[in-house]
Amino acid sequence: MDQRVASLHESLTGRSQLRVPGWLPGGLSLLVISLILFASLSALFFNAQLASLTTTLFDPYLLRVLRFTLWQASLSTLLSVLLAIPVARALARRTTFRGRSVLLLLLGLPVATPVIVVIFGIVEIYGNNGTLNHLIRLFGFSFQVNLYGLTGILIAHLFFNMPLAVRMLLPAWNQIPDESWRLASQLGMKSGSLFKLIEWPVLRRVLPGSAGIIFLLCFASFAIVLVLGGGPRATTIEVAIYQALRFDFEPSKAALLALIQLVICTLTVALLHHWLRALPLSSGLATTSQNRPDLNQPGSRLIDFGIILVATTFVALPLLALLRAGLTGPVLSVISDQSLWSAALNSLMIAIAAAGIAFSLGMALLTTSRYLRFHRKQPNRSELLELSGSLTLVVPPMVIATGLFSLLLPFGFVFDWGLVLVAMINGLMVLPYVIRLVGPALLANGEHYHHLCSELGIRGWHQFKLIDWPIIRHPAAFSMGLCATLSFGDLGVVALFGTHDAMTLPLLLYHRIGAYQFEAASVTALILALLCLVVFRVIDLLIGGRRALH
């Protein structure tokens, strides 16, 4: 009787709250992700006509595409990682020079810059009429650099992935204890043996994971290959899928290609699973100052700053070229063009929707993952649920898109719903960023406060509002800004679903480059890049508050 009176009293005074079971948010999120994947993959299997698999598999065209895809991805990965090691080492050795933080910011820029914009900058520098060939001619040489083909693909992949590799490798130096350096100076070790005996062992732990991620990114690279590949000689699976769907109208071929893509990505992740998990979560790039004995070795300063200068120039050049080309182009006529702004509006809506989708799915997954870890004491399931948010690493967006495309094609409204599908798939694509950026803060909150919260009965909305949100607000704002920016500038699945009525800004830029309207394209590229920055800043500021301005 006592208990019933008490609970009646609680409900009358508003002290009881609807209890949502802890597994529900993540469960729903997982259901949505699985449904999309299931619908897409089953459409692929249905369409791929597996009966003729053996004959198609040995189709020379397919084999050539497959071989080139693997070749360019391996080469890009190897170059990115090999070149990143000396850059990361130089930055790890020089921890206190002026402008280091600006430089690190610059190295972080490629992640958020739209691929199509960078491609434009690269063409400005390395293209047939670009700065580099201009200089070569100026010095009287007769050869010229031909950008289109493997060269262009490698340069662009290096632009994006060398800085990424630096960012992934740099935290490894923080794992070297100070004692190691002190010991090394007592033993009189030189730079070479320092690398071999102290630095290489910690690097070796993060190298496979970093290389794996870069391989996956290059393997599934679309826009770069589409624009810089320059024809059927240099086509990857993703581009072949696009051509099969949009030009050859062969959904079954596209489906087969998508399945091959899926198998290789899955194999890569399965192979590297161990190392991918061990990859450090830290997003910070501050390296602790180290008392290493080789800082004043003759010439070491020169070598370090030389390497840093070359790396910086390589990243900065295309961006500067873009700025110059954009500012000297027909700015007025481009910005007074109605189609630019309607495309920008479409992009903005996709960006906001994708960021919203990614954040909702991500928060739901993380909340339940935390519940499983701390309340149910099931760390394995918790981790598995968190991993499900990164499924798009295994199943590239283009594969999902191909499945949904062939699923919806018979109903005839693929293009009416194109932008909605693009937003949805982009949301899944950027979901891993939410998980990785917000996850650690939310888990740390759980670790510190889960007993306190459960004893005080703080759960659901109250827990989100009072306990979690104040802590995750900044990483959440940052991740949503990043998600929106990435979707805003993405030229991937939108190429499949986009039409003249459903144009996005990156697609418009691609069309202008394709139509050789380079002057208009240069202004469009600059506007796209600037709008990306604006979208990021505004979202970071709106959600993260004023303090988010770092």
Partner 1 sequence: MPFIELEALCYQREDWQLKAAFSLERGECLAVIGPSGAGKSTLLSLIAGFERLISGSIRINGRDYTTAEPADRPVTSLFQEHNLFAHLSVKKNVGLGRHPGLRLNQKDHLAIDQALEAVGLSGYHHRLPESLSGGERQRVALARCLCREHPLMLLDEPFAALDPALRSEMRGLIHQLIKSHDLTVIMVSHHPDEAAEIASSGIFLHQGELKAKGVMSDLLNNPQLPLLRAYLGVS
Residues that bind partner 1 (CB under 8 A): 2-3, 14-15, 17, 448-449, 451-452, 454-459, 461-462, 465-467, 470-471
> CA quadruple 72, 74, 78, 84: dihedral positive or negative?
positive
Considering the complex, what minimum distance in angstroms separates the CB of residue 387 from partner 1? 24
Query: Closest CB to partner 1 among 135 and 466?
Result: 466
Query: Closest CB to partner 1 among 17 and 95?
Result: 17
Query: Closest CB to partner 1 among 375 and 537?
Result: 375
Query: Closest CB to partner 1 among 20 and 278?
Result: 20
Beta-carbon contacts of 143 under 8 Å, excluding residues fewer than 6 positions away, are: 136
Considering the complex, what minimum distance in angstroms separates the CB of residue 241 from partner 1? 48
CA 406, 407, 413: angle at the middle one, nearest 5? 90
Contact of 497 with 401, CB cutoff 8 Å = yes
Query: Closest CB to partner 1 among 478 and 488?
Result: 478
Considering the complex, what minimum distance in angstroms separates the CB of residue 379 from partner 1? 13
Q: Which of 212, 313, 305 is nearest to 267 (CA)?
A: 212
Considering the complex, what minimum distance in angstroms separates the CB of residue 374 from partner 1? 9
Neighbouring CB atoms inside 10 A of 280's CB total 16
Query: Closest CB to partner 1 among 46 and 464?
Result: 464
Q: What is the largest CA-CA distance in the chain?
A: 99
What's the CA gap between 407 and 468, in Å, rounded? Answer: 40
**DSSP secondary structure, 278-318, as one string:** HS-------------TTTTSTTHHHHHHHHHHHHHHHHHHH
Considering the complex, what minimum distance in angstroms separates the CB of residue 441 from partner 1? 12
Beta-carbon contacts of 133 under 8 Å, excluding residues fewer than 6 positions away, are: 126, 127, 144, 145
CA 199, 85, 433: angle at the middle one, nearest 5? 105
Amino acid at 236: T
Considering the complex, what minimum distance in angstroms separates the CB of residue 460 from partner 1? 9
Beta-carbon contacts of 109 under 8 Å, excluding residues fewer than 6 positions away, are: 163, 315, 319
Considering the complex, what minimum distance in angstroms separates the CB of residue 362 from partner 1? 21
Contact of 399 with 40, CB cutoff 8 Å = yes
Considering the complex, what minimum distance in angstroms separates the CB of residue 200 from partner 1? 38
Amino acid at 130: G
What is the phi/psi pair of residue 129, to 5°?
-110, 25
Query: Closest CB to partner 1 among 68 and 478?
Result: 478
Considering the complex, what minimum distance in angstroms separates the CB of residue 451 from partner 1? 5
Query: Closest CB to partner 1 among 145 and 441?
Result: 441
Considering the complex, what minimum distance in angstroms separates the CB of residue 447 from partner 1? 9
Distance from the Cα of residue 93 to its chain's centroid: 28
Query: Closest CB to partner 1 among 5 and 138?
Result: 5
H-helix or E-strand spanning residue 330: none
Query: Closest CB to partner 1 among 272 and 458?
Result: 458
Beta-carbon contacts of 305 under 8 Å, excluding residues fewer than 6 positions away, are: 90, 94, 97
Query: Closest CB to partner 1 among 14 and 140?
Result: 14
Query: Closest CB to partner 1 among 14 and 412?
Result: 14
State the burial class of residue 512 (Cβ atoms within 10 Å of its Cβ: 0-12, 13-18, 19+): buried
What's the CA gap between 112 and 482, in Å, rounded? Answer: 7
Considering the complex, what minimum distance in angstroms separates the CB of residue 456 from partner 1? 5
Q: Which of 56, 491, 60 is nearest to 259 (CA)?
A: 56
Considering the complex, what minimum distance in angstroms separates the CB of residue 443 from partner 1? 14
Query: Closest CB to partner 1 among 98 and 451?
Result: 451
> CA quadruple 356, 361, 362, 367: dihedral positive or negative?
positive
Considering the complex, what minimum distance in angstroms separates the CB of residue 290 from partner 1? 30
State the burial class of residue 228 (Cβ atoms within 10 Å of its Cβ: 0-12, 13-18, 19+): buried
What's the CA gap between 239 and 402, in Å, rounded? Answer: 12
Considering the complex, what minimum distance in angstroms separates the CB of residue 376 from partner 1? 10
Contact of 85 with 203, CB cutoff 8 Å = yes
What's the CA gap between 239 and 218, in Å, rounded? Answer: 12
Query: Closest CB to partner 1 among 17 and 174?
Result: 17
* SS3 of 30-50: HHHHHHHHHHHHHHHHHHCCH
